[in-house]
Each structure stands twice: as C-alpha cells, then as structure tokens.
Structure 1
Amino acid sequence: MNMQKRNQMDKTSIHQKYFRPSCLKALNLRFGWEFYSLFSEKPHDQIKLPSELTRTPEDTLLNYFSVLREAENMGGRSCGTVGQARTPFPIAYNFLSKEYQNKLSYDEYFNSFAGVGHTSLIKLCRVPDIKHGIRFFYEIETIEGSLDKRAEYFGYYYGFIQLVNEKDGYQISDLSKIEEDFLCAPYHGWSHDAEAVVEVKYGGWCKLIQKRYPTITNGYVKNIYFQGNDGADYCMIFFTLTNGTDVEIAQFRKVGNKEWKQVNMKPEEECLTEKTDDNF
C-alpha cells in the first residue's frame, strides 16, 4: 500500500468519529406515568415538588431530566399523543430557582423546547468551578420534528448547569444549551481536537509548552498534562461530545510540590495580539 493511500485511509478513519452518533444509555429513567399523574393539568405556579427530588445536586439534575424525558412540544403529531405531552413542562420549571424564574418566564421556558418530542440525558458530570459554585456539564440526545417535516430526527446538545442550595433543596440557577454541529468538525481541523487545541493555543500562541505528556483518557474525559516553560505544570481537562468534538472544561496549574490550582487562561486574549493565517 502506497503512503498516499494509507494517509487517505487514516484521514477517513479519523473523520468517521464525527459522523457516528452516541450509543450511550440514557441516565434519566427515574419516573413512570404514575409520577406525572400527580401533577396532571396543574399550572406551574400550583406545583410543589417533593423535597426528596432536590436533596442533592445530582438528584436535582437526574430528576429534572427524568421529568423532561417524555415532554413534547412538537406542535402536534398525526400519530396522536407523544409521551407525556405537555404535562412535564410545568413540573420541570419548578426545578429552577426563584431568581432564575424571575429572569425566565414559564412561556419562554416552554418555547425553548419547540420541536422537541423526547429527551435522553447521556452525560452528566460535576466539573470544577473557579468561583467555587456547584457546576455540572451535561449532554442530551433529543428526538425532534415539526409540522413542516414528516420525519423526526436526532439532535444533540451540551452545556453547563449552575445550582444553588436553597431552603427547598438544590435548585437550578442557570443553564446553557449549545447545539452540536456534525459537519464542521470533520472538515475543519484542529479546533475540535483536544491535543491539537493544546498544541496550538498553549504551544504555538502562548509559547508555554516545554514538554507535553501522553493524554490520559477515561471514557469521555481527557486529561492533557504538560510542563510549562515558566517552570509550572499544567493539566487541561476536556470532554468529548457525541459529535467527536473535544470541549475544554477546566485548566489547572501547579508550581513545584504545591497543590493544583484552577486557573482561567484565555489564549485568544492573552497570547494573540494579531491573528494571521499561520495561526490556524
């Protein structure tokens, strides 16, 4: 086999990871139809969640996504009722803190699920928070559709969730939701790959890497360590999404025998004074 053909095969193999959706099991499987019947036809402002649902941060999030598992806001389907229809939305809204609800009305919350007919939580992990708050990473797989399209399709999203401990338990105080793209990654290089991101941003831009060590991978978590030219050691944590993209989660720095300390480096702002084509 000639070298050109082998390189093409290697490139094709690498790109395949971006085209193959997740096979992970759903994590949000806590409730059956009996649970929803307790709140049937109640508006959001007449619902009181049992305290055991929000006892710990993990309970809050697993229960929140379990409530939303069969929530449907697709504008009506010809096959009839889908899942638990609209019943889960007012229940789920009560997992939000009062302050968050003041920023996000129920109607806005409900409309944010437009087109969604089913939600599976496939990744959930508490992550370091530089402000010492309660912060989680999550990824969901949705089945979506609309009256404009007869076929349903899968959608993937990820984001971060902040929680606060209130008198009624742990409540969601902020939630981001970012769509995953399945075409940019296989066709546009380094910015989707953890090792390349570290080499380009912290090596090429910041001139910080003296020696990079082999990546330590555990499931969808990647830890990348390197020795810095400033005498410190660094650890960059990435999570791999369903679309194959690696997302930077946290950065840690250690000097000598001292403990790891979380930092917030911004190579685009701190290391680049002028971007050229040579940087990408």
Structure 2
Amino acid sequence: MYQSINDLQENSITVSSKTDETISQKEIAEQNERFFRSSNATALNQSISFSDITSDKTNRYTSPEKLITAYYSILRDAANVTDFNIGCGTIGNSMQPYPYAYQLLTDNYQKNVNKAKFTNSFRGIAHINLLKVKQAYSPAGTPTGTSYYLTEFEVITGRKENDKMQKGAQGLFGYYYALFTIVNTGREGFKIDAMRIVPENYCCAPYHSWKFDAKFITEIVFLNNLKLIDSIESIKYMDDVTTVQASKNNNMYRFEYIRLTNGYDLLLHQYEFKDNNWVEVNLLKGTGFDELAFTIDYYNG
C-alpha cells in the first residue's frame, strides 16, 4: 500500500538531510528570497483598460488566454471596500466593473452564483494584478471545447474600519492561484465555467514540509514511494518553470513545475514518452498523492 501524503508529513524538511547548523548563510538568504518575499513579476492585465471593455459591445473572446486577461483587466481597478480602511477617497472604478466581469461567466456558472454573491466574493479587495496564465492538464474524456488554466493573481486588501488595533489606512498584499474551467460556447466565444481559488500560504513550506519543492516531490513521491521512476536524469530551471526529466528502464518521463510567488513548486504537467511523442498523463491519480498534481482530477475527486 502506498503511503499517503499525511503519512509522510512527519518527514517534512528533514528530507534535505541538513540540520540548521549545516545550512549556510547563503542558503538561508536564498530561502528568504524564495519563500518570504512579495512578487516582482510584471502584471499581465495592463493591456486592456476598463473603458476598452465598456466600449466593446460584443465582449466576445476568441481564445481562453484573451478571456482570462480580459477578466482580470476588468477587475484590476474594481474596489469593493466599503467598511475597509485601505486608501483615500474613491478607489479605482469602485463597484462599476463587477457586472462586466460577471458577464464573462457561462450561463451555467451564473445559475449557481448570482451577481450579488459574485460581487460579495471581492469584499475588501481594492486592486488585482494577474501574474500567471498557464494551460493546465486536460484529462481523457474532457469535453470538446473545454480546457483548464492555472492563473495566479495578487490583490491589495486592508483592515476593516472598526479594527481597534489598527489606526489609519493600510494596504496589505495577498496572493492566490486558481484553476479555471474555460468553455467555448460558440456564438458567445470563450467563457468561464468554473473557478477554484486557493490562497497562498507563506509560512508552511519553509519550516515544515517537503511537498512544495520540485526536486523533493520527484524523489520522495515518484521515485521512493510510487517507484514509477528509477533515476532523475536532469533538472532544468527556466524563469518560473522547473523541468525534471526522469527514467525507468527504457521509459522516459518529464515533470513540469510552476513556481508560485510564495516559492511553492506546483506540479502542472506530467508526460510519458510513447511512440516518439510526449503524452500528457496523470500518474498520481488514485495513488494517495493526488493533491500534489494541479489537475481537475483532484478538484473533482
């Protein structure tokens, strides 16, 4: 029987085989930069203004990427900050953008989330920056016209006005990642059919866990526990992407991780080399390690 993720939790950071005494000052500084710093990434939702959206009567988007960029561009300067002490005067476009963003949801999504509930989900948020848009894994059987995307975004929020412990306006930065289900509706173009949003934790991985590091995940899960691979052939780092190539006998595997702002490596793609092609698979489904793969399989499970 495979060990579950909780069974391995006690191993935490000790898998590094280093004690506090053997970790160099350079490594401590590198960990600080990785896990405890806010984003310096360029915001991706700057090319479209709110006035562009309001003047476009069609609002029909011809690709998932254009739809997602438009969605976050609408929300960029939206502010639902009644009873929050964040800035001064009117912030951005205030509540005006939310109905326009709501129109980018499918009819099916709107049946489950009305306008009021949608708008209320942004309470306390004064600004949003889109940081990442990456296509995610689509399992076998995914309906034609449906795709999945990872997004990461940054928000500015603040404290409630009745917070007696805090005086004066204060802006606080927060980070989230999300799995978007995008559907091609045909006549109305691409629309958002579901969003699964996860807040980013900044004080777990650097102190207590191994499961947010690409190298450790590959070694502990794929090699030591599941024994799906025998060896790691290479690890390559390119911007926010870590690519791990591994093998077992004559079989080749490739794992692609995306690094989030909080320093976590998110397993976004898994590939097996078959018939001279890289075929995307989900090797973790049903293994007890499902949560380590950022897939719709896990969220629907």
Equivalent pairs counted in the alignment come to: 258
Instruction: Flag the 1:219–1:103 CA change in 2: closer, same or farther, 3 A.
Output: same
1:215 alignment partner, SS class: strand
Instruction: Read off the aligned partner of 2:128 and give its amino acid letter.
Output: T
Please give the alpha-carbon distance, in whole angstroms, between the structure 2 residues aligned to 1:271 and 1:181. 19
Q: TM-score when scaled to structure 1? A: 0.84
What is the alpha-carbon root mean square deviation over aligned residues?
2.4
Please give the alpha-carbon distance, in whole angstroms, between the structure 1 residues aligned to 2:286 and 2:139. 19
Find 2:119's aligned residue among 110, 122, 126.
110
Find 2:136's aligned residue among 127, 134, 138.
127
Query: CA offset at residue 163 of structure 1?
Result: 0.9
1:85-120 deviation digits (Å, cap 9, x = unpaired): 000101100000111111212122112111110000
1:265 corresponds in structure 2 to: 283
Conservation of the 8 A alpha-carbon contact between 1:36 and 1:87? no
Find 2:65's aligned residue among 58, 71, 75.
58
2:267 corresponds in structure 1 to: 248
Please give the alpha-carbon distance, in whole angstroms, between the structure 2 residues aligned to 1:33 and 1:4. 50
1:137 corresponds in structure 2 to: 150
Instruction: Flag the 1:162–1:145 CA change in 2: closer, same or farther, 3 A.
Output: same
Q: TM-score when scaled to structure 2? A: 0.78
Find 1:212's aligned residue among 208, 232, 236.
232
Instruction: Read off the aligned partner of 1:15 and give its amino acid letter.
Output: Q
Please give the alpha-carbon distance, in whole angstroms, between the structure 2 residues aligned to 1:117 and 1:13. 32
Please give the alpha-carbon distance, in whole angstroms, between the structure 2 residues aligned to 1:180 and 1:127. 18
Query: CA offset at residue 182 of structure 1?
Result: 0.8
Conservation of the 8 A alpha-carbon contact between 2:137 and 2:269? yes
Please give the alpha-carbon distance, in whole angstroms, between the structure 1 residues aligned to 2:196 and 2:21. 43
Instruction: Flag the 1:75–1:237 CA change in 2: closer, same or farther, 3 A.
Output: same
Instruction: Read off the aligned partner of 1:50 and give its amino acid letter.
Output: K
Instruction: Read off the aligned partner of 1:66 and give its amino acid letter.
Output: S
- Is 1:86 equivalent to 2:95 in the alignment? yes
1:22 corresponds in structure 2 to: 39
Instruction: Flag the 1:271–1:238 CA change in 2: closer, same or farther, 3 A.
Output: closer
Query: CA offset at residue 53 of structure 1?
Result: 4.3
Query: CA offset at residue 79 of structure 1?
Result: 1.6
Please give the alpha-carbon distance, in whole angstroms, between the structure 1 residues aligned to 2:54 and 2:278. 49
Larger relative contact order (CA 8 Å, sep ≥ 6): 2
2:252 corresponds in structure 1 to: 233
Please give the alpha-carbon distance, in whole angstroms, between the structure 2 residues aligned to 1:33 and 1:137. 23
Instruction: Read off the aligned partner of 1:263 and give its amino acid letter.
Output: V
Extract unaligned runs of 5+ from structure 1. Answer: 39-48, 273-280
2:89 alignment partner, SS class: coil
1:197-244 deviation digits (Å, cap 9, x = unpaired): 010001111122212022122221122110025x42111111000010
Please give the alpha-carbon distance, in whole angstroms, between the structure 2 residues aligned to 1:232 and 1:101. 45
1:54-203 alignment runs, 5 A limit: 54-76=61-83, 77=85, 79-131=88-140, 132=142, 133-147=146-160, 148=163, 150-166=169-185, 167-203=187-223
